[in-house]
Amino acid sequence: MRAFVLCLVAFVAVTACVSAEPAQDDSISAIGPVTLGVIVGAIDPCVLLGAGDAKPEPEGEWACRLGEFRAAITDFGHQQRYSAEPVGLAGVKAYQTARYVGGEPASCVIHVPLGVTVATEFEYIPAAPEHAADHCAVLRGRASAGVEVLAEDPDTGPLLYLPGENDTGVPGACADLTNTDGCEPYRATPLPGDPASKFSLAVTDSHARCTLFADPVARIYGDAFTPVVATGGCYFVRPDHRLQIQVMALENEGTCEDSHPGTFRVCKSPGTAIDSTDLLVVDVTAHARRGMASTDVPRVSEKDTERALAVLDHVLARHFA
């Protein structure tokens, strides 16, 4: 339904194309009023909410409300994708997030991507509290009808993604990294034989750093993790986004500084053959379950802290003993 190039075409003398790779900023704040007019001209949020004799009420230029339901054309970036739960909706790709207040379900929002940073947004906010209610199930019923309207229209149907298509604008597992700046797939790199040269290469080459840790991470954490390289170094990511691992090789660091909340850090010197102030570091960061909006800071489990220590010990024993 969607290939590498997405063209937003309406019956006006304007055509805007969004390339999925490399990524291009097509957010509402950046694409300009003319191109946005093309999108809005092709997608009427009020039509997506239409139901019988009820009449949706427009809210500004790009949104519409019908009782407890709302539809809009909105910005939709990587961080929203990262924390949302991917779902199939009327045969197309969508992301849903359940919101909670005081531990009780409060509302739900579903985004249906139209580009790397633009989506149709459906929202359900009940007028009165509904304890233990599945607000997202209610919203999926209303949003599915709206998506079917989009899919059946010859102008808007090509804007939708199939569930397995890449709508992120980044390659492969980079979509599972918190910050995709400079992200690229990992390439296995030959490592020198002597420990000092091996450590020096790991300091300067993120692919070599990933090579150093790839086998122990797979052995100890399992094969759900995929290594990627991005600005800032080597990371191991997985599709559920519950854990992210970053590995580092730091020269003349001396001490193992505390990491940010939600992250467990372990550091060790690579051995007597190398300056004792040099460090190998493993950071394991926990994230909330996808699709659950929460202000709580997740904690790394005791089991995963033990695994981080085991990964580092494995690297030291294999490469720096």
pLDDT, residue 260, reads 77
Q: Which pLDDT value is given to residue 127?
A: 82
- Token digits for 316? 């030291």
Q: Give the pLDDT means over successive 10-residue stretches in the chain (321 positions).
A: 37 31 43 48 81 79 91 92 95 94 86 89 85 84 93 84 91 94 95 92 96 97 96 94 95 76 90 72 94 83 96 95 83
What are the structural domain ranges in the chain?
5-159, 174-319
Query: What pLDDT score was predicted for residue 53?
Result: 67
pLDDT at res. 43: 81
CA pair distance 305, 264, nearest whole angstrom: 7
- Whole-prediction pTM value? 0.83
- Residue 31 pLDDT: 44
Q: According to the model, what pLDDT value does residue 159 have? A: 83
> Is 34 exposed, middle or buried, given 0-12, 13-18 or 19+ CB atoms closer than 10 A?
exposed
